[in-house]
A and B are shown apart, each in its own frame.
Chain A
Amino acid sequence: MEIAEELAKHQKAISVAEFFEKNRQILGFDSAPRALITTVKEAVDNSLDACEESDILPDIFVQIVRRGEGFRVVVEDNGPGIVGPEVPRVFAKLLYGSRFHALKQSRGQQGIGISAGVLYSQLTTGRPTAVTTKIGPNHRAGRWELMINTATNEPEILKTEETEWDRPHGTRVELEMEGSYVRSRRQSIYGYLKSVAIVNPHARITLVEPDGNMEVFERATDKLPHSSYEIKPHPLGMELGGLIKMLRYTDKKKLKSFLSGSFSSVGAIITQEICERAELDPEMLPQDVTHAEATRLLAAFKEMRLKSPPTDCLSPIGEELIRAGLEKEYRVDYIATSTRSVSVYSGSPFQVEVGLAYGGELKADGKVDILRFANRVPLLYQQGGCAITHAIENISWKTYSLTQPGGGVPTGPAAILVHIASTNIPFTSESKDAVADVPEIVAEVELGLKEVGRKLRRYLSKKSALSERREKEEIIRKLLPRISKKLSELLEREEPDINPVVAKIMGNLLVKRSVVSENGESFVTLEVANYGDAAKAFKLHETVSVEAKAIEPDARVIALGDGYDHLWKLSLRPGERREIKYKVPSEGVSFSEPVVEGVPSELVSGARVVG
């Protein structure tokens, strides 16, 4: 925690209260509604991170209660709890946290989060924050009332006691603060938690709103996300200041063991080469490296061809869970997902996941909903300044069946979800509202979007093919029979046989029998034509009360009890037409409807279908 200490010392020069006032905006407390959202967000982030680290399925309870002019915010989880001595510092000291330097994908990073809420609470209401925590069923729960000493940035414990708590383990934090509660838009506690629920389908989140309304975001899976782990920094991501600090504080005695032991993708051979390029003695004491030498070392880093950093340290949501998350919070017709493989920018591994929900209850007019996430944290503000939005705007959505009037964000009944996981998300500012336009990230997001776009296009064209088939069925069932009936009435003739036309319109297999009688003999022609665009192989049965003569081509004839089945095995290419001929006596012969075996019935006109 060396740097935290340093920074904290630096902060002492001005009071933390003053620091807070000056940095309200970057800390996310710049407006009354946002102060509430930020507090809930920081507390929920902590809860989710804590549960994940301990392999616990999160069960989080959030309650907002109106208290006079202000609100009381309660966030409770079933996490591992916090050991006693740590509690005051976790909640009542700015810049204290376990993740500040860990190079690992996690929600919070700076350790500023919840303590900023505590500070805001005491600045606006003068009241302490209450924390209850329990680390296991065999321990008693502890309860603290805490404030931050704004002169020293040290916790002040107003009260501490042991207490009973029915949870086996967990943490509950209660803060009172000024604020204002909104619900209708995405930038609200409700909207935030709904987004959290989408990308954390393993969590159950309960929200009780000031009016008593309770919303439960139920979990959609019992599968915990594959947990992320800490990696060493990659040389390509290093900056000079960081390198100098690492050199000063390492416990390694030699530069070469410092290099091979402190960085990922650096082994003995690479170490040797780095030292040669930087013209440094591999045996020297790391603390002895001067500023100028460190600069040479960093330059050598950048010249090396290094392996990418390890990528399995990331924890993507996974396509299955993105689908589950979207399905759970939106009623839609279709969901497409895509997971890109891990890429690297400036030494930091990152991975992009995209989900697209279409149709259903989503509004068809207006821009599509954009759901942005970084390390499973919803990004609510500054949508227009975010690399994710820019990538969406760069795509020509017309290709993928969405309209894009005047360019920019497309229009249509769709919601686009983009999740970026990284050990180091490049935010545009400390308030972590928007991802910076890193070319590698924008490119990956675009590729993910194009993939879901292609899936959407396939889905929609399949759907329209289906509705085309339905339309054709309406034609053949309702319209053609009426036309032929009307024509026969007008002309006072027999109704025409509409089967050949039906076969043509539907792309079906047509069987049509015509009979010409002459000199006591009936000459029968069976016309068989394939109007479909696929070859069809099938058996054709013609059952007649007598055995046919002069059959062309040959048929297998099977004597039945009351007649004869004539059987041809046929195979017709698309567009192919065949004629089968035979003759029977004119008198006393009866036919049954021709039977086709081996073609789905909806693809046959003019014959009965079996098998």
Chain B
Amino acid sequence: MKDAEETRKRLLGLAEMLYDQFQKGIVPHLALPSRTKSNLEYDQDGEIWVYGDQESVRSVKTIRGAKSVLKTTYLVELLINEHLRQNRGSTLREIYYISENWDIAKFGEQAESDRLVEDLEILTALLREDFHVRPEEDGATVFGPLTISEKTRRGERTIHCQEDVGEAGYQIPFNVDNVEFKEHDAKFVIAIETGGMHARLIENGFDQEHDAILVHLKGQPARSTRRLIKRLNEELNLPVVIFTDGDPWSYRIYASVAYGAIKSAYLSDYLVTPAAQFVGVQPSDIVNYDLSTDKLTDQDLQALRSEMTDPRFATDYWKEQIQLQLKLMKKAEQQAFAGKGLDFVTRVYLPERLSEMGMI
């Protein structure tokens, strides 16, 4: 986190750059790395995926570009004058509504304002937390032998993530850097895609039996969830495994935790856990455990084929699994294990897989 003064300076620097372009008779423009699959590059040192050299330029030469530059100036003004100067904050959705008053600089939809906030993160090399911008989505939950202390607006709270929480677990705050890890008895972290499976593992006492910290991903994980996983991995030196459904969308959940997301690769450094490993459901599990399955839909097939050209999946392991799935033409949910009995997943599947991976 940067302090408010530094953040203000960097945002003003952006305005200054545009101002100078006018003064020098240069057509004002902003250059950003293009956030596409083809511009992903593997960074050997950090073992993460980051953006390459391809740039997209937003120039006032076009209406779109000019509107986007205008909106950028309005947003910068909001962040400096309302957020930083007054120590307030807004959610992404609130920003979208605030722009109602900006006349022609008004955002067409929330996705547009969200994207522009991300653009500002890239342009200033800051995080949206620095701008006092919050996401709507609450972070996911954590359950396991871990004690944390969280700085809240109403003082510091120390919480044990098994003893001091209900069955829903500890709710991850949007700014994970306000959380400090105190102590733990965990051997590894298991991040779970679906609520159903997360609850199954708690009910079956998986966290106690295997000294595991359970993180509920809630589908495609929020930034705070990814940040927390990264910190658990780096600060506490805990191995991380990801447990999802067995379909192309779930592989992308794993990829965003372990490799970084295509749309936010500029944050890879901050969010990505390269050491995270994929437990399953693997396409080979569908065969090995004879799981109940659904047919792949056309969208599934398209997603799988797109993953074949995704640099993040260009490993032997993923090529083999994806090709196997294309051959099977089937997918399976995490809950499919229930067909073998409610204990099967914690008694048989996970122990087998985790010992295979050298985790237990």
Contact = CB atoms under 8 A, between A and B. Distances in A.
Interface of A: 471, 474-475, 478-480, 482-484, 486-491, 493, 496-498, 500-501, 504-505
A482 B62 contact: no
Contacts of A471: 62-63
Given A488-B19, A490-B12, A505-B27, 16 more contacts: A471-B63, A474-B63, A475-B60, A475-B66, A479-B66, A479-B69, A483-B69, A484-B19, A486-B74, A490-B73, A490-B76, A491-B12, A493-B19, A496-B23, A497-B22, A504-B25
B60 A487 contact: no
A507 B28 CA distance: 15
Nearest to A510: B25
A464 B172 CA distance: 52
A487 B62 contact: no
Nearest to A512: B25
Contacts of A483: 18, 28, 60, 66, 69-70, 73
A378 B75 CA distance: 63
Contacts of B63: 471, 474-475, 479
Contacts of A504: 25, 27
Nearest to B22: A496
B352 interface: no
A57 to B, nearest CB: 53
A474 B18 CA distance: 19
B264 to A, nearest CB: 27
A501 B20 CA distance: 12
Interface string B1-17: 00000000000100110
A497 B62 CA distance: 19
29 contacts: A475-B60, A478-B104, A479-B63, A479-B67, A479-B70, A480-B60, A482-B104, A483-B66, A486-B70, A486-B73, A486-B74, A486-B77, A487-B15, A487-B18, A487-B19, A487-B22, A488-B19, A489-B77, A490-B15, A490-B73, A490-B76, A491-B15, A496-B19, A496-B23, A497-B22, A500-B25, A501-B22, A501-B27, A501-B28
A479 B60 contact: yes
Contacts of B66: 475, 479-480, 483
Nearest to B61: A505
Contacts of B80: 490
Interface string B53-73: 000000011110011011001
A contact face: mostly helix, strand, loop, or mixed: helix
A513 to B, nearest CB: 14
A497 B77 CA distance: 21
Given A486-B74, A486-B77, A487-B15, A479 B104 contact: yes
Contacts of A505: 27, 60-61
A498 B19 CA distance: 10
Contact of B16 (A479, A480, A491): A491
B66 to A, nearest CB: 4
Nearest to B15: A490
A490 B67 CA distance: 18
Interface string B28-46: 1000000000000000000
B105 interface: yes
A82 to B, nearest CB: 68
Contacts of A501: 21-22, 25-28, 60
| Closest 5 pairs (CB-CB, A-B) | A500-B25, A496-B22, A479-B66, A486-B73, A487-B19
Contacts of A490: 12, 15, 73, 76-77, 80
A497 B76 CA distance: 21
The interface centre, meaning the residue of B21, B63, B76 with most chain A CB atoms within 10 A of its CB, is B63
Contacts of A474: 63
Interface in B66-109: 66-67, 69-70, 73-74, 76-77, 80, 104-105
A484 B15 CA distance: 10
Contact of A497 (B23, B28, B73): B23
Nearest to B24: A500
The interface centre, meaning the residue of B16, B62, B73, B104 with most chain A CB atoms within 10 A of its CB, is B73
The interface centre, meaning the residue of B25, B28, B76, B105 with most chain A CB atoms within 10 A of its CB, is B25
Contacts of B22: 484, 487, 496-498, 500-501
Nearest to B23: A496
A480 B65 CA distance: 11
A208 to B, nearest CB: 53
A578 to B, nearest CB: 15
Nearest to B66: A479
B27 to A, nearest CB: 5
Contacts of B76: 490
Contacts of A478: 104
Contacts of B62: 471, 475
A155 B73 CA distance: 91
A576 to B, nearest CB: 15
A471 B26 CA distance: 19
A482 B19 contact: no
Contacts of A486: 70, 73-74, 77
B31 to A, nearest CB: 17
B172 to A, nearest CB: 35
Contacts of A487: 15, 18-19, 22, 73
A462 to B, nearest CB: 20
A489 B76 CA distance: 11
Contacts of B70: 479, 482-483, 486
A241 to B, nearest CB: 62
A528 B133 CA distance: 46
Given A496-B22, A497-B22, A501-B27, A482 B15 contact: no
A565 B62 CA distance: 39
A495 to B, nearest CB: 9
A501 B15 CA distance: 16
A479 B104 CA distance: 8
Contacts of B69: 479, 483
Contacts of A500: 22, 25
B182 to A, nearest CB: 43
A486 B76 CA distance: 10
Contacts of B21: 501
